[in-house]
Amino acid sequence: MAGILRVPRSRGALSGVLLILLGAWGALIPLVGPYFHYAYTPDRAWSLSSGRVWLEIAPGAATMVGGLIVLVTRLRPVAMFGAWLAAFGGAWFAVGSTVSPLWNKGAVSGIGLPVGGTIAQAAERIGFFTGLGVAIVFVAAIVIGRLSVVAVRDARFAESRDARLAESGDARHATRGPAAEEAAIEDPVVYDSAADKAAHDSAASGASADSGTSATRAGAGPR
């Protein structure tokens, strides 16, 4: 059962890379877009405002982190968390610009206005917010769907991993042998001081000498 919680790292490789790229686009395009006349006001590169931070950079960073988690993890619950984090980031891209007028009059600024013509404005709205958010949610939903079920590949991966662990355990048991295992379970002798250890060693050597002398005398008896 525990093995099913693990998935091959290649399972989320492509989706994780796509989420990282989409998140990077969403976080960086408001800062570098003015170089290409593809921007919202203020039309200045690397110009930060509270609206850009909360409506574009923050969800872009969340999407990137979620994609990175999906890309590198082998644990199914962790990958699910990363996919949901990216999905929430994409949803905020899609709806954040719509609800932003609620705080435009407060301390947080809005998203500004697209600077291009009619067609360019449509492209800017799609590339900055709605279209980008839909794309992120779509990719994240694919990851969530794939991780919600245990595929045949995942079951085979878990079985092969359990078999490798069993083989390695048998190899360690064969290498150690019964004698090594018996020696390993013996309790070590703990001495209170160096003097006690010396006395114990002296007594042991004396007992060995007495046993050797007795054996010699027994062998030298009358013939």
Rounded to the nearest integer, the mean pLDDT of the chain is: 77
Does a structural domain hold residue 71?
Answer: yes
Whether pLDDT at 181 is above 60: no
Residue 74 is which amino acid?
R
Q: What pLDDT was estimated at residue 82?
A: 95
Q: Looking at 100-185, list the stretches that DSSP marks H as alpha helix, in order from N- to C-terminal side.
A: 118-128, 130-148, 152-185
How do residues 85-136 score in pLDDT, each as one tens digit? 999 999 999 999 888 877 766 544 577 888 888 899 999 999 999 999 999 9
- Please indicate, yes or no, if residue 205 is contained in any of the structural domains: no
Per-residue CA distances from 195 to 186, 191, 198, 199 (Å): 23, 9, 5, 6
Q: Higher confidence at residue 59 or residue 195?
A: 59
Residue 173 inside a domain? The answer is no
Residue 72 lies in a domain: yes
Residue 139 sits in which domain range? Answer: 2-148
* Residue 90 forms part of a structural domain: yes
Is 210 a domain residue? Answer: no
- Give residue-wise pLDDT tens across range 208-221: 555 554 444 444 44
Mean pLDDT for 1-26 is 80
State the pLDDT confidence band at 177, using cuts at 50, 70 and 90.
low
pLDDT digits (tens, 9 = 90+) for 187-200: 455 555 555 656 66
Any domain includes 89: yes
Counting the structural domains of the chain, the total is 1
- List the one residue out of 28, 7, 223, 45 whose CA is nearest residue 132: 28
The pLDDT, as a whole number, for residue 80 is 93
For residue 164, pLDDT beyond 60 = yes
At 176 the pLDDT is 56
Question: Is 200 inside a domain boundary?
Answer: no
User: What is the DSSP code string of 34-60?
Assistant: GGGT--BSS--TT---HHHIIIIIHHH
Residue 129 main-chain phi, psi, to 5 deg: -135, -80
Q: CA-CA distance, 71 to 108, in Å (whole number)?
A: 34
Tokens of residue 218, six digits: 């027994």
